[in-house]
Structure 1
């Protein structure tokens, strides 16, 4: 494999890593606060307002991460690639989204994160979810949570063994072993598990909105952690298991069927774009 085949569209420098780590940490708290806040806390007392608070905070933090990543090395070629893939993902999301959780965009996020790296994957996942929300009218307090979750989803694919995040010295060894059928199976397995993980964390974002009077599986601010955890598991099984299963199966099927062609196309586009090569202009008359 040539040197240009392993370049990343977005390099995560120290500032980008710090901003991403901070945002992810706050995101974990935003998702898991029902299990972290004691029943006597003011946050539990305002269970219906807490998701709005965290949604506003996540908007700011995701914007900080996007700005920090763009300052690192998001050149015009990477911006063009980001725009094309985000538009494609946004267009794919409505296809079948109303039927058993069939969402083709997830397999594209997996393959793009794999080829273009974790930094590009996080930016792509966030931008794609934002664009698709504008396209489908799905803007609400859940959108920041969706953006962060999809950013994690695509970033995770870039962190898999043998990807662009592997050290350069492993180019002919580690990367060579994670290609072909093994790579497809790995990506399909990741897509299956990550599709369920995405659905689970998104359930955490909407679960506290339910009133305890509405259902015995809703969040109860006065209940102990064990009780709320059992309620949450029951909530996931009752409301989203079938949807998440459809998303996972769709992601696996598309990865196995279309994965080889899409991976080749993305890698070819990455090599030709030469993201890390500076654009130069010849002097007139030369």
Structure 2
């Protein structure tokens, strides 16, 4: 091997692109996100007849999102954007997240996994954050027997949390921690709202002020949904947001430092060179 230093990993500020979002994988992320937005927002988009006819089987149909989400991972592997070191890091962090999540999920809105998605997405980039969100929620569901039609929505929501963390602007020191804590709070709230929206039409019956009305104007149904969210789950969503802010504030500097040291040692984008190897013309 050559004695010269290997190339540094691709770094954007404090972030290493552990998973490169190349054309096909970017298309997979965009496609799954667009389909996800349509699935989350279907009550405002479908016709009254379709809403009435498919009110029972819609959750199962929408669970077909799962192949689209998993296609992101497959696209990364097929395109070479996810090497063995990134897979190892992904496996470790997914396992940690799967262990952390049952410690708080379901208890007064306490959610102990979102801070990890935010910090890892920040360090390793949006592609890694997206994949980590899907694998962490999937692993956690297997660990806690939480597999059901809600799982694809949870996976995609968590994937968006990790993706957004990797797209945040540059910052350093306390400003970075404040940025991540603020983003974590907002992401935790929006995650709860999105999951509410996906299943709101099937969970409320008889309460006219908060019930989904097939065929009603979108704005009217949206107002009903806001009343439903405030009256049923806002406290849980705030609990999730506060937990995320607290954990980012308490552990952010230490966890960011540990993940960045790991990324430097892994040198995700470094390429080995043999002695006498010549660069090929571009």
TM-score, with structure 2 as normaliser: 0.89
CA separation in 2, counterparts of 1:202 and 1:68? 26
CA separation in 2, counterparts of 1:44 and 1:80? 46
Which residue of the partner structure matches residue 248 of structure 2? 255
Which residue of the partner structure matches residue 161 of structure 1? 169
Cα offset for 1:3? 4.1
Q: Does 1:48 align with 2:56?
A: yes
Cα separation, partners in 2 of 1:103 and 1:211, compared to 1, 3 Å: closer
Give yes or no for contact 1:39–1:224 (8 Å, CA) kept in 2.
no
Q: Deviations over 1:79-125 (max 9, x none)?
A: 00000000000100011223211111100100000000000000000
Cα separation, partners in 2 of 1:212 and 1:226, compared to 1, 3 Å: farther
Cα offset for 1:214? 6.2
User: Which stretch shows the higher mean deviation, 42-51 or 109-118?
Assistant: 42-51
User: Which stretch shows the higher mean deviation, 270-279 or 128-137?
Assistant: 270-279
Give yes or no for contact 1:5–1:271 (8 Å, CA) kept in 2.
no
CA separation in 1, counterparts of 2:143 and 2:265? 30
CA separation in 2, counterparts of 1:49 and 1:101? 28
| Count of aligned pairs | 264
2:132 alignment partner, one of 109, 115, 124: 124
* RMSD, aligned CA: 1.8
Which residue of the partner structure matches residue 69 of structure 1? 76
TM-score, with structure 1 as normaliser: 0.87
Q: Secondary structure at the match of 2:19?
A: coil
User: Which stretch shows the higher mean deviation, 255-264 or 273-282?
Assistant: 273-282
1:206 alignment partner, one of 199, 204, 214: 199
CA separation in 2, counterparts of 1:192 and 1:63? 26
Q: Secondary structure at the match of 2:102?
A: coil
Unaligned runs of 5+ in 2: 1-6, 276-282
Q: Deviations over 1:206-242 (max 9, x none)?
A: 2121254366412221322222111111111112101
Unaligned runs of 5+ in 1: 163-177
Which residue of the partner structure matches residue 25 of structure 1? 34
Structure 1 runs, 4 residues or longer, greater than 6 Å off? none
Which residue of the partner structure matches residue 165 of structure 1? none
Cα offset for 1:146? 0.5
Q: Does 1:246 align with 2:251?
A: no
Q: Deviations over 1:145-169 (max 9, x none)?
A: 100110001110000002xxxxxxx
Q: Aligned ranges for residues 1-286 of structure 1 at < 5 Å?
A: 3-4=8-9, 6=11, 7-40=16-49, 42-56=50-64, 58-72=65-79, 73-162=81-170, 178-210=171-203, 212-213=205-206, 216-278=209-271
Q: Secondary structure at the match of 1:60?
A: helix
Give yes or no for contact 2:10–2:269 (8 Å, CA) kept in 1.
no
CA separation in 2, counterparts of 1:63 and 1:97? 24
